[in-house]
Chain A
């Protein structure tokens, strides 16, 4: 399982794709971080009443994590689309199937490989925000909750992307499908914003991320992400198993 993860990481860094995405994301997060710090001084010097004053962690964190959750919507499908469909297209799946590995191990390994890659970014953001500690006394709990939330969010994206990748032999089709599916899941809470009691709201990925973004770790949200990931990984395993059974 770890060997598959290792292989996936290696192949992500073997193509320019991995490096380009890393570089672009790092650049945009860095810019937002810088803007956040600059804005903080402008806004805070203007607000005198105590209710308007927020901590620097929350102020800058909000901008960066808000951007991160949005940008991952594009980045994850780009990375996940080739995981299985590329193997299907270049007929390399027999290589994995005839190795002494179960299909669950193959799928979990691939999932893990992508999540490890993405966690580089999550860790990077956390470290970047922690540098604020040099000048100010920051709220590490807030950063931790946000990082965990972001990690769970991108893991869910990856699980869904992996499933769509197992459906087709065309990476692009897989990429577009998973992007559309993720987009719908993200903005579900906007669609049903008029009715706060709607059950559809419960399915929105963004809504569950929101509580993490506020620095709150709710077991209900943890369970939601856990189940989401589990569901899509199981579907992927079943899809690949069907390959072996039906040929």
Chain B
């Protein structure tokens, strides 16, 4: 329990009677990277605002390393680094000036100030931009300044709201590496709607839809849902579906875009049998690979799933 860094307990936020976030409960341990997923307007940013003390929850509570955000906000906020969706940059300052201000506001003492600024710049690849005005930096560099600002005081919890928006592919890779690096010692919460990103950097995933948590678990669970027991097979002279079904272990066969999707029973390995049969009967095999449902599909399934009962209720009424 000692290394529990973030505890959100039944967080609820009402906007004029409409619940933007309702009953969100989760924990985060030290050394974990949590991916926060959800469609637009699902309540990702609202939840993050509540976690960082920018917004008071209508009900529920937030604890950072055991310190309650409502009761002692100063101590709790000192442990958080936050990059909001809109980068909070003072554009009239240079990178150095801005980061020095950020460090001072987060109680970095005078002795460590210079070192903290240098370190943050180095980690975000900003060292050669020190004397430039933030206003004159490109979008991607501004984003890096935003991230540098969030990690400057070496916080226990780093909360980044869509950190890779507007970056080029190389920068995105750097930032992902950085998130992973921070995640080893501290906790990171990242919100995004780029699904592969979640798979790459996060070891914990939460999917939120219409203010409710619809999925909360390890990334492995999500990956498992993805892979399933399916093969995608391409044949130039395909036999009829009936013939394919006779291969041991195959349970279901369907034609998708001129390829065959073959479902097999849990535990059986029909791969070899299919290849052998293809060679034997000269079916002209040119493609065989595990069929992965894309993460997008899983995402759609999960978020769609939740909306079905609502529709039913509406019909019943």
Contact = CB atoms under 8 A, between A and B. Distances in A.
Contacts of B239: none
* Size bracket of the A interface: 20 to 34
B93 A98 contact: no
A95 B92 contact: no
B77 A100 contact: yes
Contacts of B149: 95
Contacts of A245: 56
A132 B228 CA distance: 92
Interface of B: 13, 15, 46, 49, 52-56, 73-75, 77-78, 80, 82, 84, 86-93, 97, 101-102, 104-107, 149
Nearest to A6: B104
A15 B88 contact: no
Q: Which 5 residue pairs spanning A and B have beta carbons closest together?
A: A95-B88, A91-B86, A100-B78, A99-B105, A92-B88
Given A98-B77, A244-B54, A247-B15, A10 B88 contact: no
Contacts of A93: 88
Most buried by B among A7, A99, A245: A99
Contacts, number: 82
Interface in A171-189: none
10 contacts: A7-B101, A92-B90, A93-B88, A95-B149, A97-B52, A97-B54, A98-B77, A98-B82, A99-B77, A100-B77
Given A15-B92, A92-B89, A98-B80, A3 B105 contact: yes
Given A91-B84, A92-B88, A98 B104 contact: no
Contact of A10 (B13, B97, B107): B97
B83 to A, nearest CB: 9
B92 A11 contact: yes
Contact of A244 (B55, B75, B87, B105): B55
A14 interface: yes
